[in-house]
Amino acid sequence: MCFKELEESFKDHCGIFGIYCPDGKLDVAKITYFGLYALQHRGQESSGIAVNDSGNIIYHKDSGLVNEVFNEVVLNHLKGYSAIGHVRYSTTGKSDRENAQPLVIKYRKGHMALAHNGNLVNAHIIREKLEQEGAIFQTTIDSEVIASLISRNRIKSENIEEAILKTMNEIKGAYSLLILTPNKLIAVRDPYGLRPLVMGKINNSICFASETCALDTIGAEYIRDVEPGEIISVSRNGVKSIKYENGTKHLCVFEFIYFARADSYLEGISVYEIRKRLGKQLCKESYVDCDIVIGVPDSGTTAAIGFAEEAGIPFSEGFIKNRYIGRTFIKPEQTQREIAVKIKLNVLKNNVAGKRVVLIDDSIVRGTTSRKIIKMLRDAGASEVHLRISSPPVVFPCYYGIDTPDRKELIAANYSTEEIARILGADSLEYLSLNGLNEVFNGEIHQFCTACFSGEYVTEIPENFNKYILEEGV
């Protein structure tokens, strides 16, 4: 089993950030750098920044973390009055340098840079059609399909916004986009709002980010979320909002359960408070008499605090997390695979020895990491380990930009809860119910995408979609 298999948690596609400073008084490249730094949790494989320099788009991107790709010399070269940036985790397309974003393209009507968070479900259909018409693609990512469509539609459109509207008629799936042209910064969100995108203001500059934590980092004021199906165009003429259609809110619920940073607000809702409420509701549904409650850091910690408060059981740290594992981490040999988990998490033995432990985590995908974590607690002397999950069982794959395996690899799709508990070595296992999740969101769960729990996708999924992704890597 390789290290990537051990890292079984969901991975979000990426994070995006952009800023438009009409008077040029802000260092937009450095502000974008810090914005991306705040969004690093959304993608650790590559990063990039593109800047509008007096009508010319210059850029720098590479594989690696934000602080590995950029330094003072590089940032000082990226001068201009508007910029977009991207951090990436690959769900479609190989993790190669050529697939790093933003994408910068030149076409008949000019040039642009594009950064994309999400995943199209019909990208392979569109790409095949374009290739038959003579189009040439330089990457294996669906983001280039979007860029190609916009450039083609721009030829017969009065402006870039009209070209984007035409493109939105053709693409299906999840997309939050930032598009940089020689005179505009444009934010776009798909009609279902599957991936997050917020708008802020710093001085007289407008900025956009995947999460509000990036706005907080640069000292920007949150204005509002970009609405589903909305195009916001920022130029020297001001801010213009265009609606593709009256969108319906279906933000991915896992943004609250796992992806977003706990200090972020999405759709005006505190991620931290939701995670606490998840823990409280989980306790109401599956209380167990134990000595301490611990969370799997970091995503399980806040839910564990909520569970402990509701149960009246002490919350305790069970693990110390190593936060300094970068992309250059040397993977252990097959015979040393236990190191792959222990290098990331180590048990606080004094806290768990002889204790009946409630272990809180946000989800179970394959179960490989959960099994090893439970074994670590046993080895440290825990007398009982009761696993509680602050989301319903994941029984369907996601097609909208989250790295989930084929359904046959999802442990909850193939085994009962009791069987999974035995496989993982837990004394008991309980998940939050879908009704309980609805309770946490005050009966408004219909405003979120829960397809990985229910199988009810907000768009039609093309036949053999998984087969195409695995074979072609688009």
Binding residues for [4Fe-4S] cluster: 252, 398, 449, 452
The radius of gyration of the chain's CA atoms, rounded to the nearest angstrom, is 22
Q: Check: CB of residue 145 under 8 Å from CB of residue 171.
A: yes
Strand 292-295 with 356-361, pairing: parallel
Closest to 139 measured CA to CA, from 172, 147, 404:
147
Binding residue ranges for Mg(2+) = 299, 361-362
Per the CB < 8 A criterion, the answer to whether 429 and 387 are in contact is yes
**469 alpha carbon, distance to own chain's centre:** 19
> Which of 362, 445, 450 lies closest to 398 in space, CA to CA?
450
The dihedral built from the CA positions of residue 331, 332, 334 and 338, taken in this order, carries a sign that is negative
Q: Cα–Cα distance between 456 and 352 in angstroms, integer? A: 40
- Is position 21 annotated as part of the catalytic site? no
* CB atoms near residue 242 (< 10 Å): 15
Q: What is the C-alpha to C-alpha distance for residues 48 and 32, in angstroms, rounded to an integer? A: 10
For 62, the token pair is 């590479």
Residues near 325 by beta carbon (within 8 Å), at least 6 away in sequence:
343, 344
Catalytic residue among 2, 14, 213, 290: 14
Q: Which two tokens stand for residue 383?
A: 């007398």
CB-side neighbour CA atoms (13 Å) of 236: 9
The two most distant CA atoms of the chain are separated, in Å, by 72
User: CA dist 241 to 228, 235, 325, 382, 458, Å?
Assistant: 12, 12, 41, 56, 24
Backbone angles phi, psi at 41, to 5 degrees: -65, -20
Structure token digits, residue 398: 């996601």
- What CA–CA distance (Å, rounded) separates 36 from 17? 6
Q: Which of 231, 156, 142 is nearest to 186 (CA)?
A: 231
List, in order, residues 6 or more apart from 362 with CB less than 8 Å away: 9, 257, 258, 296, 299, 300, 303, 389, 390, 391
Binding residues: 252, 299, 361-362, 398, 449, 452
Point out the residues that are catalytic: 14
